[in-house]
Every structure is written in structure tokens, then in C-alpha cells.
Amino acid sequence: MTVHLDVADGVGTLRLDRPPLNALDTALQDELRALATEIAGRDDIRALVLTGTGRAFAAGADVKEMRAMDQAAMIARARDLQDSFTAVAQLPQPVVAAVHGYALGGGLELALTADVRFAAEDTRLGQPEILLGLIPGAGGTQRLPRLIGPSRAKDLIFTGRQLTAAEALAIGLVDRVLPADELLTEAHAWAARLAAGPATALRAAKEAVDRGLETGLETGLAIERTWFASLFATADRAEGMRSFVEDGPGRARFRRPAAEPPAAPPAEAP
């Protein structure tokens, strides 16, 4: 196995483990997709840390493997490549990417699937596919401009240049920059805080934001109000409001998902 999943106290850790730099070959992509599908259905995983083992988060695709592929082979493979990353992007749980060393090409595209990105001070990030005569193929041309804007994304994609962690922070590509020895601790602390929160409301918030960004404002507002009303059926909502009135804000103790029926899923917005 080149991708591992560990779970403790509601927090999952999804870890790439393909030395020396976690190059994303087809086998790793398939394992990633399978584990993401598993995670999506597990109520004991309430938040997720995505990271890499060793010297890099992921230094990119396995170029040696790709070099042997012709156009027909890549046409057959390209959808599976994108689907493996999309499976992570569509996880209902909050996800933080803990990025260190290199996050280049497919490595950066994988980090982009997370909800937030924490980077170690030594991290280098970029989309260098243009230097191979290619473009990003695992979501980089779509997720990157949605995050940092089209002109900044085009600059990185057109030039293939690498950013330092500080430069990435300045343009909103990462959300925090930390000393390397604090990276995983802080990422797990972020995930643990959310794992103790109202699971259904967190999933609703993620879906409302993500689906809303793919639509117009009117449809996005319809998604929001449907989820907002649906959450009034949950025990977490009742506990949150009870605690606020009786104990003050921020003191609610939310239940594990198995302790309450799920909120009704939102109807398709018009």
C-alpha cells in the first residue's frame, strides 16, 4: 500500500507513502480513490488530515510512468486520474492538507482538494507541467483559479515556477505557514476541533459552499436555505441552542453522528 489511513478520536490521517517523494503513479491514485470512498461513508471520521511521509507531500506525477504512455493510453486514464482527486475534494468531512517539502504538479493539485492548507516553512509549491509540454491534468486549471484568481493561476501554470511557502501564503494558496516540527500538530489540532463539532452542520456547510461556488447566486442561496432549515431536525441544533441560552456561547457538547438521525438531504435547487 502506498496510501495509509489511521483514525483516532474522530480524526483520520490519510498519508501518502511512496518513497522517496511520493510520486503519484496510477497505483497510488487508485488507492487514494478507494480510501476516499471509504472515508466518505465512515461516521467515525469527522475530520481529516491529508499529508505525505518523508521528504515531500508529493513531488508530482510519476513522469517515468507517464513517459511510456501514448495519447490513447492517457485518454483512457485521464478520467480515472481526475476522479481520484475529485473523490478527495468531495469528501463530506472537513479536510486539512499538511504540506511539507515539495507540493508540485499533482502534489499541489491534491493539496487543492482540501478545504484548507497548512504549509511547513520549507515547502515549495507549483504547477510545472508546462515544462514537460503539458498542462495540469488533475484539476489544477480549475481549482487553482477558483482559489487564487485566474491571473495568478495563469502565471503559475504558464511559467511553471515554484513558490515558497511565504509567497503561497501571500496569495492565498496556503492558509498558514508553520515550522516543520509544528505542522502535523497544528493540522491535527484544527481537525480535532472540528471533530468535536456538529458533524451534520459541518457537512452541510461544506456542501453549501462547494456547490454554491459551482452555481449562480440564486441557486446557491437555495442550497443554503434548504440545508439551514433541514438542520433544525438535528439533535445538535437543539443542543447548540440550549447550551447557548443556558450556558453561554461555545459550550455545547455535540453528539457522535450515530446518536442522532441524519438531517434530511437538501432537495435539488432549481
Residues marked active site are found at 61, 106, 109, 129
Mapped to the 3 state alphabet, what secondary structure does 40-98 carry?
HCCCCCCEEEEEECCCCCECCECHHHHHCCCHHHHHHHHHHHHHHHHHHHCCCCCEEEE
Residue type, 217: L
- In sign, the C-alpha dihedral spanning 79, 85, 87, 89 is negative
179 CA to centre of own chain? 21
Q: Pseudo-torsion of CA 141, 144, 148, 150, nearest 10°?
A: 10
Q: Which residue's C-alpha cell is 510512468?
A: 65
Beta-carbon contacts of residue 5 (< 8 Å; ≥ 6 apart): 12, 13, 14, 15, 35, 38, 39
User: Of all residues in the chain, what percent are helix, strand and coil, respectively (each to 5)?
Assistant: 50, 15, 30
